[in-house]
Structure formats: structure tokens, C-alpha cells
Structure 1
């Protein structure tokens, strides 16, 4: 069984203030890199190697900045496209709901017309006009368009062939 940790017995005192923290960081860096060269002790080869690393690091930094800029531009474009798509979707939904409402209104009108035609037929009213109306009202919508011209022309030809009065 282990002994409980006593947090009050911290072997290293914590630094006070920003200066104390900076001194502690400097001490830790020195301990991690004791063979660090100074300007007085660095050789030309080591200096050339460091400049090469600096050039490579600068090049990599430029590539990272370019990549980040490109990614940011793509993200902004994607956000604009998403907002545009949301607007388009909202408009399409609004158009769909309006069309659905118009279709429901048209269906209600057709139902009312069917009821009127049935009432007229039940009262004994007859004629080519009621038959044409009944035919049209009971067809599917795509058939109504195709056959409406035929029914109308049939109605007109039947009306013109009926006698207009007493024949001499």
C-alpha cells in the first residue's frame, strides 16, 4: 500500500512572478542543452548548417502560411456555398409548399365542380356539355391536358350540328 501524496512537501519551490518563471525556464533550457554554442565558440561549418536550417525553416513556414491561407479561403468559400445552398433550399421549400397549396386548392375546386355536375345530372339535366364536363373532371390531370382539345372540338361540332330552329 502506498502512502498518500503530501502536496505540501513540494521539493521545488514555485517561482514568484514573471521574472521568477523566466529564470526557471532559462535554467531548464541550459540544463537541457549544456553543449549549446555561443557566438564566440561556433565554427563556420556549424554556422553554415544553422543558416541552412534557418532557410529550410523559413521555406517550410512560407509553405505552412500558404497552406493555411488556402485552407482559410476554401473554408470561407464552403461557408458561402453552404449559406447559398441553405437559401436555395429555403426558396425551394417555399415554392414547393406554395405549389402544394395551389394543388390542394385546385383539387377542392375540382371536387366542387364534380359535386355540381353530379347534382345537375341527378336533377335530370343532360347534354353534351355536362357529359364533356363529367369526362374531363374524372380524368387524371395528364389526360385532361391531352384530351381537352378533343372534348372541346366534339362539343363544338355537336352544337353546330343541332338544328337551330324549325326547318321549312
Structure 2
């Protein structure tokens, strides 16, 4: 399956495929992540979706439609919270990586792993996740290593729930 028109075609060194094709072939299709896409330069978001807002001084602006390709693979992906849940389950239960690779990924330096962040909450729980921000949107997925307890949310930047303080308060509530 090739990328739709408008998708930036960066190639991976490993396969020679575009990174969008590689992600689709190696992750999205095998996991059935039908609510996840790489829009390239397209400004439309497929399917039902939240609007994105930015607050500037006392005004709030709708910034839902724009070209996300300016950050390339660092954030040019649209997903649903359900797909984020499926992805983190597959990652942490070993369906995406060999055991040695997953162990290395879960090793940390200053609280950061290879693509994951570990959060330690006041009750001693240690959870893994990642957050992402792109103009007007903020999303977070966090899971216990055994994937039994998970928190996934997406918000608009115009409100404060995606902030570090808001995220930490939610982690405390869910995991403690």
C-alpha cells in the first residue's frame, strides 16, 4: 500500500521504503491500527476528531487544519486513543520488539528510555509512556509495565490538562 498523495516520502535506510510505508507495514497493519495515519502535507484529519485550539493572550484560535509535515516523522502521525492503547499494549507485552530490545528500551537515563518516559508516582508505582504535542493538540499514553493499568488522553493546548502539572495529578489519581 503506497502513501496517499501529499505524504512526504522520506526513506528509511533499513528497508528503502518511505517511513510511512515502513510504519504501515511493520506496525499499523499487523496491530490493526485503523485509526492511525500519516497525513504528510494534507491538512484534513480523517474521520471524527477533536478540534485543536491555541490560546494567545486572551484569544483562542482554532488551529485544527494545517500542514504537519514541518516536523516530519517526529510528529506527523494522527491516531485515536484506542489505537494508542493497542500500540502500548503490543509494545510492552513483547509483540513489537525482541525481548532484548524491549529491555534496552525500558532502561532509563534521567527518567527517559529509548522512546519512552518512566514516571514514578508518590505511592511507588512506576509507569511507562510518552506524550506528544503538535500545534493545538497534546496526547499522553501511560501504562504499567504489565499493561493492566493504563491512562490515555488527548486534549487541546488551549486548556491545561496536557500540562506537566495536570498530567502528574492524573497519574497520581490513576496509579495511587
Q: Which has the higher helix share?
A: 1
Greater C-alpha radius of gyration: 1
Please confirm whether the aligned pair reaches a TM-score higher than 0.5, indicating the same fold.
Answer: no
Which protein, 1 or 2, shows the higher relative CO under an 8 Å CA cutoff with sep ≥ 6?
Answer: 2
TM range (shorter): under 0.3
